[in-house]
Amino acid sequence: MKKTLLILIFATSLTLATDTFLHQFFNNKVCDQILENNGYFKTCYDYKVKGAKYVAYTIKGDLVNKNNIKERPRFYLDKNIPNQYRSEYSDYTNNRYKMDRGHMAEDASFDYSQRSLNAIYVMSNIIPQYFTVNRDKKAWAGLERFGRVMATKMGKVNVLNGVIYSNNPKRIGHNQIAIPTAFWKIYYNKEQNFQRCFYFENKPIVDSNKNVSDYEIACKRLMK
């Protein structure tokens, strides 16, 4: 039910202007704090879960593979967030649920300059993501690659990531960071009439034969 309602919002809104579409996810009723991240991406932050609810950005085709900076920055605290609601690098270390530090705005779409790459290593852009989901080239990592390929073909692709939490989520670390139950991602380009929706549960991947396409959800089909 949650998944269906979620995608219904997407399908009925993507025909609108991008700003109108994103406003329903980035406003003061939905977010405890909206972070602009130097203009590279936008985060809707939730104090209760101490993490992102939504992250939006645009992948520009001409910047994909432009420099491919290899050396990754260190993760760092988001000092724009009040101290009691922040997450820290150490919250993830040796955690019992085998959660990775998962980027919402991914490094491979922002490795064209040192400034853009540094921006996405802020801890407010990181959520607990099960390691097989995060790293599998047939899962989340493969989906991120798909977005870059489509941006190269179309010139740009807009991205909206969503994070779903239960009412009583499991937590990790000293700061008690909430673990999401699932993630979704939309790629869209209004000018090209392009939209694709994907949904991942935050749990071990047991079927090694699955591909990125197996996680796709037909948005229009859910409007019926």
- Please state the pTM of the whole predicted model: 0.91
- Burial-class residue 207 by CB neighbours within 10 Å (0-12, 13-18, 19+): exposed
Split into its structural domains, the chain has a count of: 1
For 13-63, the pLDDT digits (tens) are: 444 446 788 998 999 999 999 999 999 999 999 999 999 999 999 999 999
Q: Which residues 6+ apart lie within 8 Å of 66 measured at CB? A: 112
Domain of residue 196 covers: 2-223
CATH number for the domain spanning 192: value is 3.40.570.10
Evaluate whether 59 touches 74 at the Cβ level (below 8 Å): no
